[in-house]
Each structure stands twice: as structure tokens, then as C-alpha cells.
Amino acid sequence: MALGGLPGFRDFFPSDMRLRSHILDGWRRVAERYGFEEYDGPPLEPLDLYVRKSGEEIVGQLYRFTDQGGREVALRPEMTPTFARMVGARAAGLPKPIRWYSTPQLFRYERPQKGRLREHFQLNMDIVGEPGELADAEMIAAAIDVLREFGLGEADIVARVSDRRLMGAVLDEFGVAEDSLAAVFAVIDRLDREDEAVLRDRLDAAGVPQAAADRIFEFAADPDPSLSACVEAGDGGPELRDAADRLSRVLGHLDATGLGGFVRFDPTLVRGLAYYTGTVFEVWDRAGEFRAICGGGRYDDLLAAVGGPDLPALGFGMGDVVLGELLIARGLEPEQLPAIQDFVVCVTPEQRPLGLQVAHWLRDSGRRVAYDFADRSVGRQFKVANQMGAERAIVVGPDEAADEAVLIRDLSSGEEARVPIGNLKPMND
């Protein structure tokens, strides 16, 4: 009987690891170019950390259990609560702003489908201790630059940006009560993913009057929303004006960076998670064929809420699943490099010691090298060298050994050259 893995969990065969490593390496390069330092936390956390902070959708998807010591625990479904907890513990002694990144594997019990699995890797980049909107622009720019690193351009991706308070002020004006806001944001977050009838039922359950629900759907239907139209639709309060001013400055900074073409204002973007307080953004493929590649925003109250200092914070998470699908669809996956460059061929078992020395020297000088573990025929060894995709065969035979030389054959052109073995010694030996 074949032993299958769990649904929504991936086996990474070598050919799959290539894409995963390509993505994780690219994430690291760009995060470090932005001056972020790497951190990590435990994959298992107290359940309470998420129940209080993440919002209903994620809490419903937790892998949770009671451990053998009777503790209620959960596998991390997202990194932000752990990040808030860790930064909270050290923040007093750290120079601000803090810029940290991580690439954890996360676990959510979702229905496995295109772009959604039960585990994924997620780049998290977060800044703590900076209230100014240059930091908001920096995070959005970083998310875009990460995607540019993989070859995606303006034609491929778009960053939808808003400030949660804008939609909050609009909903206030429509007559949605303050204490229904979180539930209504969760509905708005699903506008393009779920049937209107289902969403109307949810709005009804959240206590939203039908007239307000009608206005929400009408507002969300505007194909080209502007910041000024949003301000007009809103309640005119100071929060709304502050949000609009901030957002126009964020958009201005992004223009100055040269990334303006990647960015679009979209007031219906509110994000499903409970802790965002201001700027929110998501990056999508422009054609809209895939799920969100990345999402984040400002969460100025979360650190204090997990018992840490009252410091502003913001950041984003980018998953490897949708990104990987998009790279494959656009032909941007990394090319397959052969596992080895050189294959050392021993003509008879007597040359084995010399073969081992040559192989070791080549490895010391940075080449990827393999050789046959059994004493098989020369023809067979060449066959394996070709199968493994080697560029060169390094032939060690009795004639060559007598001359303290090896024969190097270029396996694609067939050209051969006799080379003194001393030439293969690493330079610093």
C-alpha cells in the first residue's frame, strides 16, 4: 500500500526544491538589501496568542491541540503575533526603527485549492517604532521589489493600497455600527471571492441594515475609485481626513521611488486580519488569475495588545505558493542546473587513490564533483557522467597516472586535453 502524505502538505522532490530555494533565496536577498535582519520563532505557540489577535478566519483554521503537559497550543498560522511577542520582549533595548524579516513555514487548515495549501512558506518583513508614512511606502516598495527580483514587472503585478480607516469612515457614514466593523471588513475582504448572496447574509448576521448593505455593494462596484470620491462618501471626520492625507503621501513616496506604475488605490481593500489599524495593501497578479501573492499593513496597537510596549508597527507577508504558481505561468522558474560539473572516471581500480585526490581537489576549488562508487567499466562511467549532466569527464588512467596527468574531456564537444594533475590543485593549497 502506498503511504500518502496529508492533503495540503507538499513533498519537495529535488525538482521542487529548486523553485522553493529560488524563492527563499530571492526573498533573503531583497530583505537584506532593504537593511532587514533575519529572525525566527517557534513553530508551536500558545493557542491564546492567536485566539486573541488574529481574527476569526485564521482562528477557525488553526492546527490546535492540548500538549502532554495540558497546554493549549497551536502550530503558527502566521508570523505576526510571534513577531509582536518577540519584539515586545526586547523592544526597550533595541534602536528604532526595528527592521526584521523571517521566512517561516506556516500551517492553516484551509481547503486545499489553487494557491492555498495547509502549509506554506511566508516571507515576513516588518518595521517597529516608526509612525511616519515613509515606512508604509518602504514596505510596499519592498514587496514590489521582491517580486521584481523574480522578473515580474508592471504588466504582471499590481499593488492594491488603501487605509483601513477610509472604508471605516465610509461604513460609518452608511450607518454601520462601530462594533460591527471587524465583521464587515471580513465580508468586504471577500467581495471578489464569494457570492453576493452569501456576503449579504453575513452582513445581515453582523447587524448591518439592508440599506447600508446596498450602499456597500454600490460603493464597491466603482471600477476606478479615487481618494477624493472616497473622502466625499465618508463621514468627514478627522480620522478620514488623516487617513486620506497619509495615503496620498504614501502614494507620493512610491511615485518618487519610481514604482508608481505598480500601485493602485482601492478603498475596498481592508484585509481580513483583525489587527490592522491604518495602511493596508496586497499585491495581485494583474490578470487576476491567482490569489493574493502578498498582504500586509500597519498594526499600531498589536504590540501593546500582546503585553509589549506601545509601539507602531507595520509589515507584510508573502507566500511561496501563489508566487511559485505565477512564476511557472510566466515562464520565470529557475533553470535546472545539473547536480554536477565534473565526473572523475577511473580506468582501473588501481587509479582509485589518484581519482579520489583529484576529486577532492576539484571540490576544494568549488566544483561540483561525483564519481562511480563501484569499479564499473569506463564506458559505463561515461554513461553515468552524461546522465548526471556533467560538463567534463576527468579521466584517470594508467598512462596518465604514469605522467602525473589526467585527461579532461569536454562532454558536449568531445574535445580532450591532457593536464598535469598539479594544475587541478586548489590555488590556496
Residues that bind ligand HAM (CB under 6 A): 78-80, 108, 110, 116-117, 120, 122, 124, 126, 273, 292-296, 315-319, 321-322
Q: Which of residues 107 and 371 has its CB atom nearest to ligand HAM in the complex?
A: 107
State whether residue 346 is helix, strand or coil.
strand
Nearest distance in Å: CB 369, ligand HAM:
38
* Nearest 10 degrees: Cα torsion 99, 105, 109, 111: 100
- Break the chain down into helix, strand, coil percent, rounded to 5: 45, 20, 35
Q: Which of residues 174 and 299 has its CB atom nearest to ligand HAM in the complex?
A: 299
- 303 in Cβ contact with 270 (< 8 Å): no
Strand partners, 294: 283, 318
Q: Which of residues 28 and 367 has its CB atom nearest to ligand HAM in the complex?
A: 28
State whether residue 121 is helix, strand or coil.
strand
Task: Quote the CA–CA distance of 210 and 200 in Å, as a whole number.
Answer: 8
Nearest distance in Å: CB 63, ligand HAM:
12
Nearest to 118 by CA among 33, 276, 6: 6
Nearest distance in Å: CB 83, ligand HAM:
7
- 189 in Cβ contact with 270 (< 8 Å): yes
Nearest distance in Å: CB 18, ligand HAM:
19
Q: Which of residues 131 and 389 has its CB atom nearest to ligand HAM in the complex?
A: 131
**Residue with smallest beta-carbon separation from ligand HAM:** 319
Nearest distance in Å: CB 378, ligand HAM:
49
Nearest distance in Å: CB 122, ligand HAM:
5
State whether residue 61 is helix, strand or coil.
coil
Nearest distance in Å: CB 62, ligand HAM:
12
Nearest distance in Å: CB 226, ligand HAM:
26
What cell does 313 get? Answer: 508597527
Q: Which of residues 142 and 293 has its CB atom nearest to ligand HAM in the complex?
A: 293
Rg of the chain on CA atoms, in Å = 28
| Pairing mode of beta strands 294-298, 157-163 | unpaired
Q: Taking CA 376 as the corner, what is the angle to CA 374 and CA 377, rounded to the nearest 5 degrees?
A: 165
Q: Which of residues 163 and 173 has its CB atom nearest to ligand HAM in the complex?
A: 163
Nearest distance in Å: CB 292, ligand HAM:
4
Whether the upstream peptide bond of residue 97 has omega within 30° of 0, thus cis, is: yes
Q: Which of residues 267 and 315 has its CB atom nearest to ligand HAM in the complex?
A: 315
From residue 124, alpha-carbon distances to 20, 100, 267, 350, 377 in Å are 16, 8, 24, 55, 52
- 139 in Cβ contact with 312 (< 8 Å): no
Task: Quote the CA–CA distance of 171 and 163 in Å, as a whole number.
Answer: 13
Task: Quote the CA–CA distance of 354 and 341 in Å, as a whole number.
Answer: 19
Nearest distance in Å: CB 334, ligand HAM:
19
Q: Which of residues 85 and 392 has its CB atom nearest to ligand HAM in the complex?
A: 85
Q: Which of residues 122 and 351 has its CB atom nearest to ligand HAM in the complex?
A: 122
Q: Which of residues 80 and 381 has its CB atom nearest to ligand HAM in the complex?
A: 80
